[in-house]
């Protein structure tokens, strides 16, 4: 017999950002999840920060959680019971700041997810790193 996991609860880390909002919307639109929640520093984004075409679905169907991804105890409490967590945490700034927010936070989140028994953890990042001039670098 094949084991088929039925995921009912999804948590999007950084769901208040552009990428996170789109992931939340896709989770809702799929109809596969009974619960779609987002954890971010700000909780629910202000109305003008929500992608206009997604506003209705996100404000009505996403449960927004305000929290600190660096708080171990809070992560354990929030992550427990989720089938799937998708991290869309992102930041811009110095390399050190981006490493802490994009790297360290995601690593700690993945470890906590594994510790509390989350079935699946995914990471999506969209950041413009810079432009390479191939002609200049081909010498």
| Domain encompassing residue 65 | 9-129
φ and ψ at residue 114, rounded to 5 degrees: -65, -40
Q: How many domains does the chain have?
A: 1
Phi, psi (deg, nearest 5) at residue 122? -125, 155
Decide if 138 is inside a domain. no
Q: How far apart are CA 114 and CA 94, in angstroms?
A: 29
Examine residue 1 and state whether it is found in any structural domain, yes or no.
Answer: no
Residue 134 counted as domain residue = no
Q: What is the pLDDT along the chain (139 residues), one digit of tens a residue?
A: 455 556 799 999 999 888 899 999 999 999 889 999 999 988 888 877 888 888 888 888 999 999 999 999 999 999 999 999 999 987 777 778 777 777 788 999 999 999 999 999 999 876 544 444 445 444 4
The pLDDT assigned to 3 comes to 52
Alpha helices in the chain (DSSP H): 18-30, 55-61, 72-79, 95-98, 105-115, 134-137
Residue 34 within a domain: yes
**What Rg value do the Cα atoms of the chain yield, rounded?**
17
pLDDT attached to residue 139: 43
Amino acid 82: pLDDT = 94
Residue 136 forms part of a structural domain: no
Contacts of 80 (CB under 8 A, 6+ apart): 116, 117
How many whole angstroms separate alpha carbon 86 and alpha carbon 123? 6
- Three-class secondary structure of residue 91 per DSSP: coil
What's the pTM?
0.82
Q: Kindly report the CATH number assigned to the domain that includes residue 111.
A: 3.40.50.720
């Amino acid at each position: 017999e094949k084991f088929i996991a039925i995921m009912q609860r999804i948590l999007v880390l950084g769901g208040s950002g552009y990428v996170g909002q789109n992931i939340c919307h896709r989770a809702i639109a799929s109809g596969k999840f009974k619960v779609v929640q987002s954890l971010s520093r700000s909780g629910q984004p202000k109305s003008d920060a929500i992608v206009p075409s997604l506003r209705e679905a996100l404000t009505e169907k996403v449960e927004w959680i305000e929290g600190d991804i660096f708080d171990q105890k809070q992560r354990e409490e929030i992550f427990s019971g989720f089938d799937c967590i998708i991290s869309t945490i992102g930041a811009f700034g110095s390399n050190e700041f981006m490493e802490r927010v994009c790297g360290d936070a995601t690593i700690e989140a993945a470890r906590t997810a594994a510790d509390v028994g989350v079935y699946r953890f995914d990471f999506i990042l969209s950041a413009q790193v810079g432009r390479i001039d191939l002609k200049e670098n081909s010498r």
